[in-house]
Amino acid sequence: MGKTTKGLKVAFVGSECYPFVKTGGLGDVMYALPRALTREGCSVRVIMPLYNCIPEKFKKQMKYVGSFMMDQTMEGRTFYVGIMETEMDGVTYDFVDNREFFDWGNPYTGLWEDIPKYCYFSKASLAILNYLEWYPDVIHCHDWQAALVPLYLKTKFWNCPLKDSKSMLTIHNLRFQGICGIQHLKYWSGLSDGLFDYPVFKVNDDEANMFKGGLAYADAITTVSATYAKEIQTPEFGEHLDAHLRYHAVRMKGIVNGIDTDIWDSSKDKLLAAPYDVTDVLEKKWENKEALREQLGLACGEGKMVLGLVSRLTDQKGLDLVDAIFPQIMDGNTQVVVLGTGDPRYENAFRYYEEKYKGDVCAYISYNEGLAHRIYAGADAFLVPSLFEPCGLTQLIAMRYGTVPIVRETGGLKDTVLPYDAEKNEGNGFTFDRYTPENLLQAVNNAKTVFFTDRPRWDAMVKRNMEKDVSWEQSAKQYLAFYRELKA
């Protein structure tokens, strides 16, 4: 551990964190990255709301550490801020307690209600750090729900010890930005009129954008992959913020996410029929493939390739392409296992294919954690043909489990999956660039060709994938380097 790392203090501010509450990948990052940073010698606190939906077993582990009243809104209304605290794996978790904002519904209710909630949360997070006299080197904020932290830091908290803290804002998915009426945000944030112009919050004469404001004021911006950092500076992927992001690009870096290699460890995974590591993957993967097919009622035996798909069933995930080529995939030598829920259009399409190709297709329209693990272990290849994908975790998990990914070259998928090169016998998956059904079909057929006609090279790719470092440690080291740049 280097001397420059020792003693570095980082506060994470975000709207969700596994295992307390999780609706998507943000919850995983808020859990795994702080733990990895702690192992690198950092002192880390995570600040999040005390939602009513947090399971009681976690609430019982929390202790009350203090409370105070805080002014909020344009007219200076005061609100209670309670602090409940717990510790896990060396990370301190501080929960912002206020029943008026967090004691009903799920974390995200609707923008009209969520704007006041996260204005309060952003300011309360800084007020809690001040109250605890815990002054971090970097305050690492996540997505639009924490986007006001950099603004509050440089306005309302400019004259306290927190003023020396640097702010970093991470874009997990730019599609969600916290856009609302100017007056609504102005009232609930209590921020000055001068910020509600085009360089900061203003979108048009009527609307303001919380994420836009945070990106303008953050000392540093990160996204969850280097390719996504470039993509969001284009009109195609910029969600109307591409010009804003190009302007602030000098402060932006892309750092790909990792996965929790304790949770995703095929050698210790009790949910599998036959746990395995890289030394016995070829034999044990076959056992897992047979167990998966038997569980799902698919035909067992030699001669068939199993394609896995674990996903939200939405357009973003490229399922219109899968739907378009499904009959061509089903060539008598291929089986498909789908796990997920989402748009009725895709749920019904996959149910139809299950009925049409009985014994070779399973559409499990639900979510089942154990089955997800068994698909990662039992499938031969894994489909991630996303329209856009800021980072993507499923391809990383698939590789860790020795399942070869078939992905579109976008965002984190492009950064983590090197296309297979037959001449050099290198690469760890099959990729396609242009978003068309024909290109996806070509990638699937390329994978089948290697699987059925050149098994030694396929098996070598399986082992390469299992040996690839997809842990959070690599990401944590890159974040540490960026933190130190900010602190310098």
Where along the chain do its domains lie?
A: 9-258+473-487, 281-468
pLDDT profile of the chain (488 residues), mean per 10:
62 97 90 95 98 96 98 96 97 97 89 96 98 98 98 96 97 95 97 96 97 98 97 97 97 95 95 98 97 97 96 95 98 97 97 98 95 98 97 96 98 97 94 98 98 97 96 95 94
Any idea what DSSP says for residue 359?
T
Any idea what DSSP says for residue 146?
G
CA distance 42 to 287: 42
CA distance 74 to 192: 9
319-329 and 344-356 helices cross at what angle (nearest 10)? 10
Sign of CA dihedral 222, 224, 226, 232: negative
Question: Whole-model pTM?
Answer: 0.92
Q: How much is the pLDDT for 1?
A: 34
Of the candidate CATH numbers 3.40.50.300, 3.40.50.1370, 3.40.50.2000, 1.10.10.60, the domain formed by 281-468 belongs to 3.40.50.2000
Within this chain, domains 9-258+473-487 and 281-468 share the same CATH topology:
yes
Write the class of the CATH domain 9-258+473-487: alpha beta
Can you read off the two tokens belonging to residue 77?
């209304």
Q: How much is the pLDDT for 488?
A: 86
Q: How much is the pLDDT for 2?
A: 38
Give 385-440 as a DSSP string.
--S--SS-SHHHHHHHTT-EEEEESSHHHHHH-PBPBTTTTB-SBEEE-S-SHHHH
How many residues appear in the chain? 488
Enumerate residues 6+ apart whose C-beta is below 8 A from 194: none
Q: In Å, how far from its chain's centre is CA 309? A: 17
Q: In Å, how far from its chain's centre is CA 68? A: 33
Beta strand residue intervals within 286-343, DSSP E: 305-310, 334-339
CA distance 121 to 15: 9
Q: How much is the pLDDT for 6?
A: 60
